[in-house]
Structure 1
Amino acid sequence: MELNVEIKSISGLTDIERREVMKFSCGNTDIDLYLHEDALEDYSCNLTRTFVLFIEGTVAGYFTLTSDRALITRKSTLSRKLPSHPHFTFHRDSIPALQIHHFAIGEPHQKKGNGIILMNYLIAFIKIKILPNVGATLLTVYSLKEAVEFYKKIGFEKTGNYSSANVNMALILSDIID
């Protein structure tokens, strides 16, 4: 039996789907509250774009994207992987990026491969819809400590920037865009 799987923009949800959004819980209150209370407002203000994963009509997860500028320290492994063009050498403190502002899978859908499925969609979306129109070198995330291993599996590396309580990580977009 094939599952009904859909990914929709927060701005285009029906009333029934919005009620489903309010039931979402990933186990982290702050991340849940962002989806419940702030995602649509941030969309309206052009701060972010949030996309919701539905499996059989239930919210299984979501991700939010925004723009970013990343600091990559010279000592980080990631720094050595950046292009050696002089422009990169000079501007490492302000590298254009897209940021995963939020990424979450609902508790009933965790540990079933849905995080990888949603991340693969997110990367394909960036490749097809965003990068042809916007310049960006990195995909960044300010990861909760408990999610670092998930991001490492995908190819994210620590930036060496420790300016927040979360773990600053990035993925070089040219590594995933063939």
Structure 2
Amino acid sequence: MTSKWRAASLTSYYAAPIPASNINQFCCGNPEIDVFLHQSADAPRIANIFLLQDHSELLGFFTLQNDSLELSRKFRSSHSLKNLGINTYPAIVINFFAVAKQHQNTHIGFEMMVKLFELALAQKFKLGSYTIICVESLKSTRAYYEQFGYSAISRPHSRDTVMLAITLDEVANIMQPWQNN
């Protein structure tokens, strides 16, 4: 599948300041996410932030952190994770994943998730090994993540959120058609 957004660039900001001109106008419709981007995203050691831009327009962004998560036996079994005698697995956590309001429902989020998957597969052994990618999803966005193969790893954390995950093996299977092109 090709997209007009495939040419948009994904820029990472690990320790460098994020260009304010790109973020000041960004609005995804979720005040908590907008405030994070405007005020805290470039704070040292908060998270690695990735901006998807088309020229100077910020289309969306996501942040990643390393973590470890306890996975239930049911999740490990249903996702073909080998029984290694451990319950806690290394993970990459998506802290924020947002598309500018004017670009929502235009496949930007799809392109961002594809880029995130590409990055996760490419960096698997460079940044330390990890087994899963997870996100604490709002219940209102759960179906969005599930369309990519994410599934619940535990009971909901609150009335509003649920922790979802996908294994890197599942990501590799999803990405196989794009990697062969």
> What is the TM-score of this pair, normalised by structure 2?
0.83
Find the aligned partners of 2:170 and 2:74 in 1 and give their Cα distance: 20
List per-residue Cα deviations over 1:116-169 (Å, max 9, x = no partner). 0011001101111x2022111110000111111110000000012433441100
Task: Map 1:69-148 to 2 at 5 A.
Answer: 69-76=68-75, 79-85=77-83, 87=84, 90-92=85-87, 94-128=88-122, 130-133=123-126, 134-148=128-142
Q: Are the aligned partners of 2:9 and 2:53 in contact in 1 as well (CA < 8 Å)? A: yes
Find the counterpart in structure 1 of residue 48 from structure 2: 49
Q: CA deviation at 1:22?
A: 1.0
Q: Deviations over 1:13-60 (max 9, x none)?
A: 67xx4222111000000001111111100xx2x231001111242111
Distance in 1 (alpha carbons) for counterparts of 2:66 and 2:146: 21
TM-score (normalised: structure 1):
0.84
Q: Specify which structure has the higher proportion of helix.
A: 1
Q: What percentage of residue pairs aligned between the two structures are identical?
A: 25
Q: Is the 8 A contact 2:154 2:162 kept in 1?
A: no
Structure 2 residue runs without a partner (length 5+): 174-181
2:153 to 156, 159, 165: 159
Query: RMSD across aligned C-alpha pairs, in angstroms?
Result: 2.0
Asked whether the 8 Å contact 2:16–2:42 carries over to 1, the reply is no
Question: Alignment partner of 2:129: what SS?
Answer: coil
In structure 2, what is the Cα distance between the partners aligned to 1:21 and 1:79? 42
Which has the higher relative contact order, 1 or 2, with Cα contacts under 8 A spaced 6 or more apart? 1
How far apart, CA to CA, are the structure 1 residues paired with 2:104 and 2:55?
15
Using the alignment, how far apart are the partners of 1:161 and 1:39 within structure 2?
29
AA matched with 2:54: I
For the pair 1:175 / 2:170, whether they are aligned, the reply is yes
Partners of 1:139 and 1:97 lie apart in 2 by 6
| Paired residues of 1:67 and 1:98 also in contact (CA < 8 A) | yes
Of 9, 33, 43, the residue aligned with 2:12 is 9
Structure 2 distance, partners of 1:75, 1:95, is 14
Structure 1: which 5+ runs fail to align?
none
